[in-house]
Amino acid sequence: MDKFDADILDVLQHNARTTAEAMAQQVGLSPDACRKRMARLRSSGIIKAEIAVLDPARVGRGLILVVEVNLQNERKADLDRFKAAMQTAPEVMQCYYVTGNADFILIVSAYDMADFEAFTRHHFFAEDNVLRFRTSAVMDSVKTGFAVPVGKG
């Protein structure tokens, strides 16, 4: 990956709908060169997805919760089962298997506290391997996103 690739990735992370023509003006390459590089970055897996980022509140899911989950056992089968459940739970926006005080950190969206309670009953209380969970409600989204600094240092 060279400076042009890094510049292209930076532009795409801020607006995935940027055309090759607009990209060319921003990074100093021809539109055709930008298209080829973008295709290579996609096929190599560096670009994992191009998504629309929604405002949770405007779609009725304005309650965002950060949840720390501790499992009783961390055997491979137990971890895989929990990971699979979180991957298929539409309320889970992000799920990280982490080191430290918790085994998993989740970012969960809910309509309201009753909706979140239903989520916890289904995914935590009904799961024998969930030892405990701790929840923090988000009061203000100061910064959200997935942009990764590229080509700098």
- Reduced 3-state DSSP string for the chain: CCHHHHHHHHHHHHCCCCCHHHHHHHHCCCHHHHHHHHHHHHHCCCCCCCCCCCCHHHHCCCEEEEEEEEECCCCHHHHHHHHHHHHHCCCEEEEEECCCCCCEEEEEEECCHHHHHHHHHHHHHCCCCEEEEEEEECCCCCCCCCCCCCCCC
For position 99, what pLDDT does the model report? 97
Query: Can you read off the two tokens belonging to residue 66?
Result: 């950060």
For position 152, what pLDDT does the model report? 63
Contact 27, 34 (CB under 8 A): yes
For position 63, what pLDDT does the model report? 97
Residues of the chain with pLDDT under 70: 152-153
Model confidence, pTM: 0.87
Taking the C-alpha atoms of residue 92 and residue 66, their distance in angstroms, rounded to an integer, is 10
Task: Say how many C-beta atoms besides its own lie within 10 A of residue 74's C-beta.
Answer: 12
For position 151, what pLDDT does the model report? 77
